[in-house]
Amino acid sequence: MSKEDLNIILSNIGAIVKRHRKERGLSQLNMGLDIDMSANQIGRIERAESNPTVETLHTIANYFGFDIIEFFKKQ
């Protein structure tokens, strides 16, 4: 996988997290408190500055009520 491909995937993941969080009217801090994650970590995921683990993606997907595979579908 090229660096460009990885950046696209991470950008898509970040956009999905941000969209779901905003749809629910949550701040990064409130979301982080709910799932035991720092607001900074959520911000880094949303800005595609972090490569989250599968465990982190699973936690976020469960929190929002969708399957982890949603992170990897073409947008």
- Domain spans of the chain? 3-64
- Residue 10: CB atoms within 10 A of its CB come to 19
Nearest to 18 by CA among 42, 39, 1, 38: 42
Q: What is the DSSP letter of 24?
A: T
Per the CATH hierarchy, to which homologous superfamily does domain 3-64 belong? lambda repressor-like DNA-binding domains (1.10.260.40)
Which pLDDT does position 75 carry in this prediction? 63
Residue 43 Ramachandran class (φ > 0 left, ψ -120 to 50 alpha, else beta) = alpha
Which pLDDT does position 56 carry in this prediction? 97
Which pLDDT does position 74 carry in this prediction? 72
Q: Cα–Cα distance between 19 and 16 in angstroms, integer?
A: 5
Which parts of the chain register pLDDT below 70? Answer: 75
Please indicate, yes or no, whether the overall pTM of this predicted structure exceeds 0.75.
yes
